[in-house]
Amino acid sequence: MKPRIIALYLPQFHPIPENDKWWGAGFTEWTNVAKAKPLFRGHLQPRIPADLGFYDLRLPEVRELQASLAKESGIEGFCYYHYWFGRGRQLLERPFNEVVACGRPDFPFCLCWANHTWSNKTWERKSAIQKDSVLIEQQYPGVEDDIAHFNSLLAAFKDRRYMTVDGKLLFVLYNPYDMPHVERFMETWRKLARENGLPGFHFVGMTPSTLTFKQMEDGTRRRVLPNMKSSAEIFRSLLNMGFDAVNSFGKRRGEMMYEGKWKNLVKTILRRVGMPAGSIKYDYARTVCNYFAPEDVWDNVYPTILPQWDRTPRVASYDGVYVNATPAAFERHIRQALELLKGKTEEHQILFLKSWNEWGEGNYVEPDLQFGHGFLDAIHHCFYNS
């Protein structure tokens, strides 16, 4: 059995009434992607899609082509970001609902509940000290809402395409730290799974492998200095909440190792208060080589691989840009990640790819005019030519 690569998938590429109201008629992820401008010499902006064009996810033909490209490269399935804000409020649900309803594409899938509040800082930043304006708040009304949430996805959970780990449905939680009563949520869904004849859930909590806070047992947080030597405490805290596994993300760790922890922390603070902080560029290869923590080899930890990173379409110059992110460098990154999986059980030899199509953050593997199929080819080389 080959290692499993699961690609996070953003359903933002179609207009919805809420985005029309907030940002103007017809707004999608492409709006700001196409308007992006280079900020320095050699900056690859704007990013222009190739094979699939500026697509609309309401078209089944687009979804079929995406699945075909992913399957050919060696990706096992898509992990669709799913938005449930409480009390039945959903956004961007149409593409996934149509995938379930029509049975196409015939390609495995699972879900990641992107449980976070939407604010104006996603697509508009006038300054680093701009105050958030909440567009839609993530809420957790209680058990009845958890039941309604489960029932809204029951058809997907019963679909033969839904991905499993150890025979159980794979479900990822994007922000486990801010969710009150997360243990109760998982307990409720496990009970509902039994009642509906489902095999149960394999719950995965997402987390950076380096944090500047420690989650206390009462749900409060205490500020701590980042631990660059070990992520064991972070991973154990999620497992102790009741998660079956952890999806670790090493971006913060890699950047601190690249710049130096103290320099990185100071520059981050300066940017947040709107003061000049020097260079915001990171060399891709020198950064991702330090992405992985020692505990990423644990059987129940699933590391993340990142092909590129450039959020300037969303936040202008506020966030760091990865330069020299090439398919060849990405292939080396994948091979480093694969070494972490060799001692794990077959079902747990999992890598999460961030992402399939996050064009606004510059982390995507879909074909573009700059590299063509290069990032997909890098995955294929690692999984079929090893």
CA gap 172, 19 in Å, rounded: 25
Counting residues of the chain whose pLDDT is more than 70, the rounded percentage is 90
Local confidence band at 217 (pLDDT 50, 70, 90 cut-offs): confident
pLDDT tens for each residue of 68-82: 999 999 999 999 999
Q: What residues have CB less than 8 Å from 79, skipping those under 6 apart? A: 6, 7, 8, 9, 109, 110, 111, 112, 163, 170, 172, 352
What rounded mean pLDDT belongs to the chain? 92
pLDDT tens for each residue of 276-316: 555 578 999 999 999 999 999 999 999 999 999 999 898 76
pLDDT tens for each residue of 137-151: 999 999 999 999 999
DSSP run (H or E) holding 364: strand 363-364
User: Residue 278 has what pLDDT?
Assistant: 52
Structure tokens at 319: 């966030």
Lowest mean pLDDT among 17-21, 172-176, 185-189, 213-217: 213-217
CA gap 80, 110 in Å, rounded: 6
- Cβ proximity of 326 and 365 under 8 Å: no
User: Residue 127 has what pLDDT?
Assistant: 43
User: Residue 213 has what pLDDT?
Assistant: 75
Lowest mean pLDDT among 171-175, 197-201, 267-271, 377-381: 267-271
- Cβ proximity of 80 and 122 under 8 Å: no
Q: What residues have CB less than 8 Å from 7, skipping those under 6 apart? A: 70, 75, 77, 78, 79, 352, 353, 355, 356, 365
Mean pLDDT on 125-133: 51
Local confidence band at 39 (pLDDT 50, 70, 90 cut-offs): confident
Residue 220 scores a pLDDT above 80: no
Mean pLDDT on 316-324: 79
One-letter identity of residue 291: Y
User: Residue 12 has what pLDDT?
Assistant: 96
Local confidence band at 128 (pLDDT 50, 70, 90 cut-offs): very low
How far are the Cα atoms of 33, 119, 128, 315, 384 from residue 125, in angstroms, in the given order?
Answer: 15, 11, 7, 6, 43
User: Residue 7 has what pLDDT?
Assistant: 98
User: Residue 385 has what pLDDT?
Assistant: 72
Indicate the pairing of strand 221-223 with strand 213-215: antiparallel
Quote the radius of gyration of the chain (alpha carbons, Å). 20
Residue 337 scores a pLDDT above 90: yes
User: Residue 121 has what pLDDT?
Assistant: 66
Indicate the pairing of strand 350-353 with strand 301-305: parallel
User: Residue 133 has what pLDDT?
Assistant: 84
Local confidence band at 216 (pLDDT 50, 70, 90 cut-offs): confident
Local confidence band at 211 (pLDDT 50, 70, 90 cut-offs): confident
User: Can you spell out the DSSP letters for 51-93?
Assistant: TT-S--TT-HHHHHHHHHHHHHHT--EEEEEEEEEETTEEES-
- Cβ proximity of 96 and 88 under 8 Å: no
Local confidence band at 2 (pLDDT 50, 70, 90 cut-offs): confident
Three-state SS at 334: helix
One-letter identity of residue 41: R
pLDDT tens for each residue of 171-207: 999 999 999 999 999 999 999 999 999 999 999 999 9
Q: Which residues pair with 363 in a beta bridge?
A: 358
Local confidence band at 214 (pLDDT 50, 70, 90 cut-offs): confident
Question: What's the predicted TM-score (pTM) here?
Answer: 0.94
The angle subtended at Cα 237 by Cα 236 and Cα 243, nearest 5°, is 80
Lowest mean pLDDT among 8-12, 117-121, 207-211, 373-377: 117-121
Residue 129 scores a pLDDT above 50: no
Counting residues of the chain whose pLDDT is more than 90, the rounded percentage is 80
Residue 268 scores a pLDDT above 90: no
Residue 130 scores a pLDDT above 50: no
Nearest CA to 15 out of 92, 82, 80 is that of: 92
Helix, strand, coil fractions of the chain, as percent rounded to 5: 35, 20, 40
Domains, the chain, in order of start with CATH, read: 4-384 (3.20.20.80)
Mean pLDDT on 364-373: 98
